[in-house]
Amino acid sequence: MYGRGMARWTGSGVVRNWAGNQACLPAEVLSPTSTEQVAAIVSRASADGRRVKVIGAGHSFTATAMTDGMMLRLGSMDRILEVDRESMRVRVEAGITLHDLSRRLHEHGLALPNLGDIDVQSVAGAISTATHGTGIGLGNLATTVVGMVIVDGTGRVVRIEADDPLCSIAPVSLGALGVVCEVTLQCVPSFRLHAHETIERLDDLLSDVDGFAASADHAEFFWMPGARRCQVKRNDRTDAPLDRPSRVSVVRDKYLGENVAFGTVCRVGRRWPRAVPRIAKLVSSSVSERDLVDDSFRVFASPRHVRFVEMEYGIPLECLGEAVQRVRRATEHLSFPSLFPIEVRVSAADDLALSTGFGRRNGWVAVHQYRGAPFESYFQQVAAIMDSYGGRPHWGKMHWLDAAALAERYPRWEEFAAVRRSLDPDGTFRNEYLDRVLGPVG
């Protein structure tokens, strides 16, 4: 029915994302194992007038993958198909996770140039939402794409090479252009990072944002609302020998401290919000300085077992200091306080049509709230501040903007819309979320 072999049926039932804030009831869930199977599935769905959506690791906080139609899971499409050591280009199936890809690239002496602090996402999902790490000289993960194979809304297999104009449009697509089946990525030689974590005053960092952004290859900080100091992470490439933390310290800091203990603190704060100011001081005072050298992918990502919802905006870098100060003032008057630190990062400009980094260097402000705690008022106040700077919300994280507002923030919006009409003329990949943020296909 679906070409060579058979797509595995994984049943139906409620599907939820990692955070638990999005859920849907697909009519059917399939796990194809090849591009040919994906093409057969989409072709049949298109002929029958059915909708198709793909879900990766479920780590998006939006409803971009939700559907009452047919849902595809690409976890079985997780192979590395080709490694070109000379060009350092790697062709992979789209269902492989960043975690697994990083370790398998390392075996070939290669690495992705940057990663975020979570690596459980599928490659296709991370690229399609412009997932990013930090580094003023580095773009988001979609900027590493030099080729793709997608199945469009009619079931046609479309191959995109590096010199194809589509290669600057298709990577960041929110799943609206087709099912991403293969991706060719531009990698770099494996590298180590010297990770230096310090405790610094927030005011000092905000008084010289350019200096902070340039202070390391990868610079970011975490600030707990109500505290005066924050945790600063600076990672620099190095040829120094490995200097890894002991297994005991990793368990103590990354699992017991950042997950078990922090999860307990969040539950206390959710139950007794008046205790949050004291919790903020406790959290900020418990963070210690660290210094280590390890392989890049081991430094970038950390285990995240405490579940939360998140909103993140990219704004022009020159506005970052003022914007964070405004967010700081807003957090002083919240009806329900934040239980999570605010994360601040930076990234380079690029030329991808719907990339949040199109045409400008971004400062990033991410706000989180523990799952089950009120967040709407907090997030909406921060969103209003970010919108005043022409902020672009991370495509995989929560926001309230619609297509009319977003179109004004992306100069290549109409180009993307034209490609969408061409590749998905009947709206096979539509859902309510895409109708809101991209508008109808026609």
Check pLDDT > 50 for residue 5: no
pLDDT at residue 4 in the model: 44
What the block records as the tokens of 356 is: 């949040």
Task: Answer for the pair 308, 248: CB distance below 8 angstroms, yes or no.
Answer: no
Q: Which two tokens stand for residue 7?
A: 């797509």
Mean pLDDT, range 260-282, rounded to an integer: 70
Q: Does the pLDDT of residue 9 top 60, yes or no?
A: no
Contact 294, 193 (CB under 8 A): yes
- Structure-block tokens of residue 92: 């992979």
Q: List, in sequence order, every residue forming a beta bridge with 186; answer none if it has no partner.
A: 89
Of 138, 131, 103, nearest to 117 by C-alpha is: 131
What phi, psi does 429 have (nearest 5°)?
Answer: -100, 10
Question: Per residue in 391-429, pLDDT tens?
Answer: 999 999 999 999 999 999 999 999 999 999 999 999 999
Lowest mean pLDDT among 98-112, 252-266, 387-401: 252-266
Q: How confident is the model at residue 273 (pLDDT cuts 50, 70, 90)?
A: confident
| 315 against 249, higher pLDDT | 315
pLDDT at 272: 73
Range in 61-75, 89-103, 212-226, 257-271 with the lowest mean pLDDT? 257-271
pLDDT reported for residue 34 = 98
DSSP annotation of 166 reads G
| Residue 127: other Cβ atoms inside 10 A | 27
Give me the phi and psi of 408, to 5 degrees please: -70, -15
Residue 188 has pLDDT above 60, yes or no: yes
Q: Which amino acid is at 214?
A: A
- Residue 136 is predicted with a pLDDT of 98
* Residue 129, pLDDT score: 98
Question: Which whole number is the average pLDDT over 346-358?
Answer: 98
**80-189 matches 192-393 in fold:** no
How far is Cα of residue 178 from the mean position of the Cα atoms in its chain? 19
Calpha distance 113→319 (Å, rounded): 26
Question: What dotted CATH number matches 8-73?
Answer: 3.30.43.10
Mean pLDDT computed over 16-42: 96
- Whether 250 has a pLDDT exceeding 70, the answer reads no
Averaged pLDDT score across all residues of the chain = 92
Question: Hey, which of 106-115, 273-282, 336-345 has the most confident mean pLDDT?
Answer: 106-115
Maximum separation of any 2 CA atoms in the chain, in Å? 63
Secondary structure of 86-128 as H, E, C letters: CCCEEEEECCCEHHHHHHHHHHCCEECCCCCCCCCCEHHHHHH
**Three-point CA angle 251, 252, 258, nearest 5°:** 95
Buried b (16+ CB within 10 A) or exposed e, 314-324: bbebebbbebb
Give SS3 for 24: strand
In this predicted structure, what is the pLDDT of residue 17?
Answer: 96
CA angle, 108 then 298 then 289, to 5°: 150
| 280 φ/ψ angles, rounded to the nearest 5 degrees | -60, -45
Q: Which residue is associated with the tokens 């790490």?
A: 133
Tell me which H or E stretch contains 39.
helix 35-48
For residue 11, pLDDT beyond 70: no
Predicted pLDDT at 13? 87
What pLDDT score does 339 carry?
87
pLDDT of res. 271: 74
Q: Residue 284 has what pLDDT? A: 58
Residue 365 near residue 318 (C-beta atoms within 8 A): no
Task: Report the CATH superfamily, name and number, of domain 192-393.
Answer: FAD-linked oxidases, C-terminal domain (3.40.462.10)
- Parse the chain into domains and list their residue ranges: 8-73, 80-189, 192-393
**How far apart are the C-alpha atoms of 51 and 71, rounded to whole Å?**
9
For 294-320, what is each residue's pLDDT tens digit?
Answer: 999 999 998 888 899 999 999 999 999
- What CATH architecture does domain 80-189 belong to? 2-Layer Sandwich (3.30)
Which band of pLDDT confidence, cut at 50, 70 and 90, is reported for residue 283? Answer: low
Full-model pTM: 0.93
Of 141-155, 219-233, 277-291, minimum mean pLDDT range = 277-291
How far apart, in whole angstroms, are the C-alpha atoms of residue 442 and residue 430? 11
pLDDT band at 1 (very low <50, low <70, confident <90, very high): very low
Average pLDDT over residues 208-228: 95
